[in-house]
Structure 1
Amino acid sequence: MFTVTLVTVAVMLAYAVPGYLLSRFRAVKEEAIPAFAKVLMYVCQPCLTLYAFDRVEYSVDLLKEIGIFFAVTLLAQLIAILLFYAVVKGRGDDVAYRVSAVAAAFGNCAFMGVPLVEAALPDAPRAVLMSAIFFLTMSLLGWTLASYLITRNKRFVSVKSIFLNPSVLILVVALPLFFTHTKLPSTVASAVEILGKMTTPLCMLIMGMRLAHMSPRALIGRPVQYAAIGVKLIVFPLAVYGIAWLMPVALYLKQTLLLLSACPVASVVLNFAEMHGAGQENAANVVLVSTGLSLLTIPLLSLLL
C-alpha cells in the first residue's frame, strides 16, 4: 500500500511541472489562472461527481453508507474548523489565522482523492462515490462557515450559493439516475469520465502555475500556517480514522475515510479567499506547501490500512 500511494501521489505532483513551466516562461499569465480554475470547478468537478454516481448501483445498503459518510465528514470538518479557530481566536483579526482554521479541515478529497482511492482500493468502486460526498460536505461548509471566517462578514454567507453551486446542482442530474438504476449511454458516459478525470491533472497544473508566481518569502509562510498543515495532514486523518474504527461500518468505508482525510489542503480554500478578496497569499501557501508534504504523509498514513 505504501508504494502504491507513494507512486500515485508522485505522479499527481508531477502534473504541476508543466503548469509551473508555462507560467515561469510567461506562456500563461497570472491573470489567466482563474479561468482555468473556473473550468475545473464548473465543468470537470461536476462531471467527476456524475461519473462517481454512474459507477455504482443504488441499494438501501449503499444509501445508508452515504448517509453515514455524509454525517461523519460534515461533523469532522465542522469540529476541526471550530476547534482550530477557538485556539487562535485571540488573533482572529489577522486573516492568516482565519484562513488557517479553514485549511485545517478542508482537503483535496475530490481532485486528488479520486485517483488515490482508485489506486489504493481498486476493488471498492463505492470509494469513488464517497469522495464526491466528502466534496459535497466541504462545499456546504465552504459557502457558509468558511466564507464567514475568511471575511467576518455575514453577507458573504449565502443560502442561495449553497444550492446554486456546481457540486450541488449536478445532483439534480445524478440522483434521479442513481435512484432509478439508469446508466448514462456509453458515449455520454465516456465523455463524462474523460472530463471528470481531467480534474486531477488540471488541478495540479493550476497549482504549478500559482507556484511560479509566488515569492520565496510567501512560500515560506508563517507558523500558524504550518500548524494548520500539520493538523490537516496528520491530526485530522488520524482522528477521523480513529472514530471510523469505533463505528460498525464496512472496512472499505474506514479506509476511504483515512485516505480522503489525509489529502492536502483543498485548492477551494484559495478559491474562496480569492473570491472574497481576503487572505489569498496565506491560502496559496497552505495549499502548495501541504500538497508537497503530502508526498510523504499520505504513503505513511496508508501503512495503517
Structure 2
Amino acid sequence: AIICFLCLVIAKCLNVDRKRRSLFIFMSVFGNTGFIGIPLVQLMCGEMSAFYASILEAANDILIFTFGIFIMQKASEEEKGFSLKNFLNPCFIGSVIGLILFVFQIKLPGFIAGPVEMLSSATTPVAMIVLGFQLGGLKLKDFCGDKLCYAAVLMKLVIAPLITFAVLKIWASSYPADTTLLIDMGMPVAVMSALLSQKYDNDTALATKAILISTLGLFVSVPLCTLLISLL
C-alpha cells in the first residue's frame, strides 16, 4: 500500500497518463521473485529460506493475476469496467490449484504431473523469447530520458527494500521469513509487466526497458539487501 501511494505521488509529479501510471504501479509492486528470486534467496540464506521464497512466489502470482490484472485492465481504453470473470483466468486458477496442492501435500499421478511439469518448464523460456523480440525493437537511445522507467527501477530496487526494512524493524519478524521477504522486495521488475502491457495495449517499450535495466541493476539491490539483512 505504501509503495502504491508513492507511485501515485511520483506519477502525479511526472504528469503521467492513466495507462502508464497503472503500468508504473505494476512494475514497482511486482518483481521477478521466481526465476531470479528463489535461486538468489537459496544462495544467500539457505534451503529453508528457499521454502519461504516459494510460498511468497505463489502469493505473488495470485496477486499478479488479480490485483495486477485489475489495475492494467482498468487503465485499458478497451475495457470500461472490471469484471469478476478476470479472476477466472487460467493463470489465476492454476496458481490457486497449485497452492492447494502444496498446502495439503497432494501428489498428482504421473500421467498428470509429467505434462504439467513440462508446461511449467516451458513458461520461462517462452517469456524470455517474447521479451527478446520486444527488446529487438528498441534502440539504445530509447533507454535515455525516460524518467518513468528509471523511477520504476529506483522504486523496485532501492525504495521497496528500504520500506520493507522499516516495516520489519517496527513489527516483530522472525528469521528466515524476514530475510526472504526483504530479498524478494528487491528483485527486478517482473517479466509479466511486459506481457500484460502487450495484452492490454499499454506501454510495452517502457516495461521492457524497466525489466532489462532493473535486472542489470541487481548489483545495486543485492548489496543493499545484504546490508539491510545485517541490520535486522
Which segment drifts farther, 262-271 or 113-122?
113-122
Identity of aligned residues (%): 24
Separation of aligned partners in 1, 2:182 and 2:122: 24
Matched residue type, 1:84: C
Paired letter, 2:6:
L
- The change in CA–CA distance for 1:236 and 1:153 in structure 2 (over 3 A counts) is farther
Counterpart of 1:79 in structure 2 is 2
Name the Cα RMSD after superposition. Answer: 2.9
1:61 maps to none
CA distance in 2, matches of 1:289, 1:296: 11
2:12 to 89, 105, 122: 89
Q: Say if 1:104 and 1:228, in contact at 8 Å, map to a contact too.
A: yes
1:259 is aligned, of 176, 183, 187, to: 183
TM-fit CA distance, 1:257:
0.8
1:109·1:135 contact (CA, 8 Å) conserved in 2?
no
- For the pair 1:100 / 2:3, whether they are aligned, the reply is no
- Superposition deviation, residue 287 in structure 1: 1.8
Structure 2 residue 200 is matched with structure 1 residue 276: yes
CA distance in 2, matches of 1:295, 1:168: 35
- Per-residue CA deviation, residues 11-62 of structure 1 (Å, 9 max, x unaligned), is xxxxxxxxxxxxxxxxxxxxxxxxxxxxxxxxxxxxxxxxxxxxxxxxxxxx
What do residues 180-208 of structure 1 show as CA deviations (whole Å, max 9, x unaligned)? 43334578657655654555555444433
In the alignment, is the contact (CA less than 8 A) between 1:112 and 1:263 conserved in 2?
yes
Task: Tell me which residue corresponds to 1:31.
Answer: none
Report the equivalent of 2:220: 296
| Structure 1: tracts of 5 or more residues without a match | 1-77
Q: What TM-score results when the alignment is normalised by the length of structure 1?
A: 0.63
Choose from 137, 140, 145 the match for 2:66: 140
**Counterpart in the other structure of 1:35:** none
Tell me, yes or no, if structure 1 residue 248 matches structure 2 residue 167: no
Distance in 1 (CA, whole Å) between partners of 2:202 and 2:210 is 14
- Check conservation: 2:66, 2:86, Cα contact below 8 A: no
CA 1:195–1:278 in 2, change beyond 3 Å: closer, same or farther? Answer: closer
Question: Do the aligned partners of residues 144 and 82 (structure 1) sit closer, same or farther apart at CA in structure 2, a change above 3 Å counting?
Answer: farther
Select the residue among 139, 147, 171 that pairs with 2:96. Answer: 171
Greater RCO between the two (CA within 8 Å, min separation 6)? Answer: 1
C-alpha distance in 1 between matches for 2:199 and 2:72: 12
Distance 1:245 1:115 in 2: 25
Aligned residue-pair number? 226
Letter of the 1:117 partner, please give it.
Answer: V
Cα shift at 1:174: 4.2
CA distance in 2, matches of 1:164, 1:109: 21
SS in 2 for 1:112: helix
How big is each residue's C-alpha offset from its partner over 1:55-94, in whole Å with a ceiling of 9 and x where there is no partner?
A: xxxxxxxxxxxxxxxxxxxxxxx43223312332362437
Q: Structure 2: which amino acid aligns with 1:172?
A: I
Work out the CA distance in 1 between the residues paired with 2:34 and 2:178.
Answer: 17
CA distance in 1, matches of 2:159, 2:217: 14
Question: Is the CA contact 1:244–1:257 (under 8 Å) kept in the aligned structure 2?
Answer: no
The match for 1:119 among 43, 49, 59 is 43
Aligned equivalent of 1:26? none
